[in-house]
């Protein structure tokens, strides 16, 4: 007899499950950021499509611009992009336009465009397909989507879901569009590695062999400083040598693989390998995976695999124990109702940078006369490069941490504005999710550290 999963649950349980799918914690992590990871292939495709014009880029006709501007998302088929716009490089379809050909947008062509602005066909397509269908007005994104730019856009738009300015369904549709369009375009725009780059350039090989010879003793002694210096030198050469090679997009797009890890181990050298359980002793292998591992180095490389298995197995138990302690510690922490303010004069001074600005979203900034301003994606850029004062949980003087010291994030993530917030329960939920998702020790530790940040030191 066949029993559908659905049949096992009551109607109420089904209803509850349906609602849970739109629960903010299902889509956002404890930092309020999108946790539906975008695939590396898509990430690379967006980077390739949004590259700046180069010396060969030409101006496209205003017809093409108007054509793209007048399309809605259902019309952007592959046939339209490849055949009609003549983009992409296929044997059967000769491309006449490049993604980084120049389009000039006039004032009013697009939200956020206030004056004549040079952009590219690829950027216009990406904006039209991803962001234009949103019911909120989203300003034109005129930059290359490398190094986390796509993630930042998604986190920004996600903050509109948490502030209830955008329905969750729309956000999930956006995430689906990002993945669908990115994956489809990946075969058209994302160059894969070929032998030119996989088989390291002869000059760099020569330089590598000289450096190894000069530092033979330090390498044999497992000196990690020396080997990382050598690796950095060689990686600089690689970056310089292949800078105009489209294959470098694979490494520059901000997805995986990484130049200083995957490429280095494959084509330059494996480098330092932990040789004991405490991370105090290292073996160094100057072999790489493309040329193969010498007999004399096999014990070093295989040792790393055993060590990996050890950490995944034995250390998971220790990680679990730490997590239990963390939960016990957090049980007693409660946050007061939405709108509470203990009125403390205690604040923390922080230096907002381009790299850390997202950490302070949803915290309250203290102004010179004590007035509070909520930090959001819309105003945080005004404070980059400045020192500001913020309220923070440990600075709270009430028994339950007040809303102003706690910030807004938990209230939004839990969609709880009427009652106290049980921080301990919230944290247990995150840790339970972790232990059931089979995550590695490393992720558990990372989240454990986050847990302390969340409960004790939320904004720093």
Q: Which residues form the interface with Zn ion (CB under 5 A)?
A: 342, 396, 402, 405
Q: How far is the CB of 383 from Zn ion (least distance, A)?
A: 21
**CA distance linking residue 290 with residue 269, whole number of Å:** 9
Q: How far is the CB of 396 from Zn ion (least distance, A)?
A: 3
Q: How far is the CB of 407 from Zn ion (least distance, A)?
A: 10
Q: Which of 345, 352, 334, 331 is nearest to 420 (CA)?
A: 334
Q: For Zn ion, which is the closer residue by CB, 262 or 398?
A: 398
Q: How far is the CB of 289 from Zn ion (least distance, A)?
A: 54
CB 256, CB 40: distance < 8 Å = yes
What's the distance, CA 77 to chain centroid? 27
DSSP string, 76-96: --HHIIIIIS--S--SSS---
Q: How far is the CB of 374 from Zn ion (least distance, A)?
A: 15
Annotate 56-82 with b (16+ C-beta within 10 A) or e (fewer): ebeebeeebbeebeebeeeebeeeebb
Q: How far is the CB of 344 from Zn ion (least distance, A)?
A: 5
Q: For Zn ion, which is the closer residue by CB, 130 or 396?
A: 396
The radius of gyration of the chain's CA atoms, rounded to the nearest angstrom, is: 26
Q: For Zn ion, which is the closer residue by CB, 161 or 396?
A: 396
Q: Which of 308, 330, 263, 328 is nearest to 290 (CA)?
A: 263
Q: For Zn ion, which is the closer residue by CB, 27 or 401?
A: 401
CB 335, CB 406: distance < 8 Å = yes
**CA distance linking residue 86 with residue 83, whole number of Å:** 5
**CA distance linking residue 14 with residue 188, whole number of Å:** 41
Q: For Zn ion, which is the closer residue by CB, 190 or 458?
A: 458
Q: For Zn ion, which is the closer residue by CB, 342 or 454?
A: 342
């Amino acid at each position: 007899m066949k029993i559908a999963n659905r049949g096992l649950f009551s109607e109420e349980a089904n209803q509850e499950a349906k609602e849970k799918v739109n629960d903010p914690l299902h889509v956002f992590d404890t930092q309020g950021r999108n946790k539906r990871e975008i695939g590396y292939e898509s990430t690379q495709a967006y980077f390739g499509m949004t590259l700046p014009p180069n010396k060969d880029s030409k101006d496209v006709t205003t017809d093409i611009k108007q054509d793209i501007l007048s399309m809605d998302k259902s019309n952007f088929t592959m046939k339209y992009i490849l055949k009609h716009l003549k983009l992409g490089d296929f044997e059967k379809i000769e491309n006449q336009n490049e993604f980084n050909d120049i389009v000039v947008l006039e004032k009013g062509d697009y939200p956020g465009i206030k004056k004549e602005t040079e952009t590219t066909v690829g950027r216009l397509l990406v904006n039209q397909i991803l962001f234009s269908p949103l019911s909120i007005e989203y300003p034109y994104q005129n930059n290359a989507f490398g190094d986390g730019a796509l993630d930042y856009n998604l986190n920004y738009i996600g903050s509109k879901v948490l502030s209830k300015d955008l329905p969750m369904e729309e956000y999930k549709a956006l995430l689906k569009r990002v993945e669908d369009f990115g994956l489809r375009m990946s075969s058209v725009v994302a160059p894969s590695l070929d032998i030119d780059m996989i088989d390291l350039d002869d000059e760099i090989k020569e330089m590598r062999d000289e450096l190894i010879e000069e530092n033979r003793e330090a390498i044999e002694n497992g000196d990690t400083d020396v080997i990382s210096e050598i690796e950095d030198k060689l990686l600089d050469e690689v970056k310089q040598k292949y800078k105009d090679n489209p294959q470098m997009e694979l490494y520059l797009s901000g997805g995986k693989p990484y130049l200083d890890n995957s490429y280095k181990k494959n084509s330059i050298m494996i480098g330092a390998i932990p040789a004991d359980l405490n991370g105090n002793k290292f073996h160094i292998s100057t072999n790489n995976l493309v040329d193969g591992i010498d007999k004399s180095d096999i014990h070093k490389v295989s040792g790393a695999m055993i060590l990996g298995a050890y950490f995944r197995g034995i250390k998971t138990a220790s990680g679990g124990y730490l997590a239990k302690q963390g939960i016990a510690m957090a049980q007693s922490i409660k946050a007061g109702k939405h709108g509470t303010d203990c009125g403390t004069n205690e604040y923390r001074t922080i230096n907002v940078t381009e790299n850390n600005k997202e950490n302070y979203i949803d915290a309250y900034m203290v102004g010179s006369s004590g007035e509070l301003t909520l930090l959001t994606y819309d105003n945080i850029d005004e404070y980059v490069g400045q020192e500001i004062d913020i309220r923070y949980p440990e600075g709270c003087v009430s028994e339950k941490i007040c809303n102003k010291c706690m910030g807004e994030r938990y209230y939004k993530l839990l969609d709880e504005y009427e009652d106290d917030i049980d921080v301990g329960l919230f944290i247990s939920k995150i840790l339970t999710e972790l232990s059931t998702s089979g995550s590695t020790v490393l992720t558990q530790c990372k989240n454990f550290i986050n847990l302390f940040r969340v409960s004790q030191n939320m904004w720093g």
